[in-house]
Amino acid sequence: MTQEHPITPPPELVEQWLAQRADYEKGFNELLIEAAQWGADQELEACLNWLTDRERFPVGHEAIEELKADRRPKQPSLKEINLKHLDVMERDGNYLPEILQDLRRAVEQLND
């Protein structure tokens, strides 16, 4: 190939990804996913730069921040996940209320 695609990972990054996978068969899918995510991140960043470079939106504009948040949502914290689990347990399970209350208080005290 004479021209490189603009979203081609640098060779150093590819080597790093390969080195992180000792078990080739198990790690191959993870490698593909990581490469796809890296490419998607590069494309999103290019789109955001395109919008700000052409002065359609200034850097930090609410639309830019909303686009980033919508396309790369934050993973829920362990606390948020466990609070949802507790909600399900309270609603659907036959657990002693005192046990659930103690668990809820403990989870609520965790930092996000």
CA distances from 27 to 21, 31, 93 (A): 5, 6, 38
What pLDDT tens digit does each residue of the chain (112 aa) get? 445 777 889 999 888 888 877 656 557 777 888 889 999 999 999 999 998 888 788 888 898 889 989 999 888 887 888 888 888 888 887 777 888 888 888 888 888 7
Q: 0.75 exceeded by the pTM?
A: no
Q: pLDDT tens, 75-105? A: 888 788 888 888 888 888 777 788 888 888 8
β strands within 14-89, DSSP E: none
Residue 17 · residue 29 · CB < 8 Å = no
Cβ neighbors of 110 (< 8 A, separation 6 or more) are: 78, 79, 82
Query: What is the pLDDT at residue 25?
Result: 56
Domain boundaries, the chain: 11-71, 78-108
Query: What is the pLDDT at residue 3?
Result: 56
What is the CB neighbour count within 10 angstroms for residue 21? 15
Query: What is the pLDDT at residue 24?
Result: 60
Query: What is the pLDDT at residue 107?
Result: 86
Structure tokens at 79: 């606390």
